[in-house]
């Protein structure tokens, strides 16, 4: 299966401003690209590329005053299968976890593990450990939060999402990640493309999506509290502790978003021709 991905994003920049961007596919996805990403910055300014502390491909620029446009277009080949399941995956005792996994047990900017641990144990201590416990957390969060774009707020944390019971995909993800960490299950925040493949088309404009991964049985597994469904065609962009670590753009000064268009479409072949019907 081939999926065409990309975006067209514009900012108004009042004065020269440093910006950092995580707008490339994750290095693990690059072998599946059927040609290089068509990354472009207008106006053409130098971009410093680097790999951040979580293994994501990042770029840094000094944006000049005026309109800044960021675009990309690419075709990715995927297996066309839903997210894999591993219902027998067991929880790994903390003393057996690899050192690089340990940070994903701790509190972070939007995931208040210390504040929510008692609540998490009250809710989930009687659930079977391992995969079933994570699925119980996903089910609970999916049913607790009402999805809606008007409920989005960049300052909203997992605790806020729980209290307000409303939010967008990042809020579902923050709350599920926090509950998993409270239950001593390493969990990390993930962002990327997720189109309406194999599910009814959404009437809402396409956006980037947030989901999460948990460490069970010696490897990472995908879960999605917003959709609570094994989905086809996730295209990974970045991983981190929470939304801070995977922000699409971080501006070190005032900017105003003027345009935001994202596409994730199944296509017929590697040329990117749109699939009929």
Q: What is the pLDDT of residues 48-57, one digit of tens each?
A: 999 999 999 9
What's the pTM value of the predicted model, to 2 decimals? 0.95
Q: Tell me which of 265 and 202 has the higher pLDDT.
A: 265
Ordered by start, the domain boundaries in the chain are 2-80+248-267, 94-240
**Average pLDDT over every residue of 115-133:** 98
Give the mean pLDDT of the chain. 96
**Average pLDDT over every residue of 229-257:** 97
Q: Which CATH architecture best describes the domain 94-240?
A: Roll (3.10)
Query: E strands along the chain, which residues?
Result: 2-13, 17-21, 40-42, 48-51, 57-63, 66-77, 146-147, 166-167, 187-193, 209-216, 219-223, 235-240, 249-251, 256-267
Residue 179 pLDDT class (50, 70, 90 cuts)? very high
Going by DSSP bridges, is the β-strand pair 146-147/166-167 parallel, antiparallel, or unpaired? parallel
Strand partners, 240: 189
Q: Which CATH architecture best describes the domain 2-80+248-267?
A: Sandwich (2.60)
**Average pLDDT over every residue of 137-151:** 96
């Amino acid at each position: 299966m081939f999926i065409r991905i990309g975006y067209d994003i514009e900012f108004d920049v009042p004065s020269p401003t440093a910006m950092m961007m995580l707008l490339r596919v994750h290095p693990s996805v690059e072998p599946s690209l059927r040609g290089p990403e068509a990354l472009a910055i207008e106006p053409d300014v130098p971009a410093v590329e680097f790999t951040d502390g979580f293994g994501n491909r990042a770029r840094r620029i000094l944006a000049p005053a005026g309109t800044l446009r960021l675009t990309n277009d690419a075709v990715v080949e995927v297996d066309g299968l839903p997210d894999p399941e591993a219902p027998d995956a067991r929880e790994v005792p903390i003393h057996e976890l690899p050192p690089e996994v340990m940070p994903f047990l701790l509190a972070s900017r939007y995931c208040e593990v210390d504040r929510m641990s008692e609540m998490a144990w009250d809710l989930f201590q009687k659930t079977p450990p391992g995969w079933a416990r994570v699925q119980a957390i996903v089910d609970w969060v999916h049913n607790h939060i009402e999805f809606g774009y008007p409920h989005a707020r960049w300052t909203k944390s997992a605790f806020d999402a729980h209290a307000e019971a409303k939010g967008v995909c990042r809020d579902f993800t923050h709350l599920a990640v926090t509950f998993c960490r409270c239950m001593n299950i390493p969990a990390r925040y993930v962002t990327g493309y997720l189109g309406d493949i194999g599910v009814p088309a959404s009437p809402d404009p396409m956006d980037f999506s947030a989901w999460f991964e948990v460490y069970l049985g010696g490897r990472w597994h995908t879960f999605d509290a917003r959709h609570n469904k094994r989905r086809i065609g996730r295209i990974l962009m970045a991983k981190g502790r929470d939304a801070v670590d995977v922000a699409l753009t971080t501006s070190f000064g005032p900017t105003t978003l003027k345009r935001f268009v994202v596409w994730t479409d199944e296509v017929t072949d590697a040329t990117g021709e749109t699939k009929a019907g």
